[in-house]
A and B are shown apart, each in its own frame.
Chain A
Amino acid sequence: MACVEMIFRCLRCGHEFEEKADPKDFPKELTCPKCMSNSVRRIIKERAEEKKE
């Protein structure tokens, strides 16, 4: 399967970021690019959009 854009949210600093990843690779070690925490939660796109609104 091709890589898809995924949205992640850091549960330590609250930073949201997008990353291209292959769903087949999950679960994998995730790191927040801002605070380097591993408490990174994968959120579905719709939910992310709701939150932005």
Chain B
Amino acid sequence: MKRAHRKAHLFIWLILGPVMVATLLFAVLHRPAEPVNQELPEILLLEAR
């Protein structure tokens, strides 16, 4: 793999990694006991309950 490609790979992961971890942390920490998104289709809410 070319050096430029390796650098591009690393650069992408250095950007995407923290974004993905932040999204995960947010999602896990704000995980509701019961579903709160009332815009979800009713069938999804029923399934979750």
Asked if chains A and B come from one complex, the reply is: no
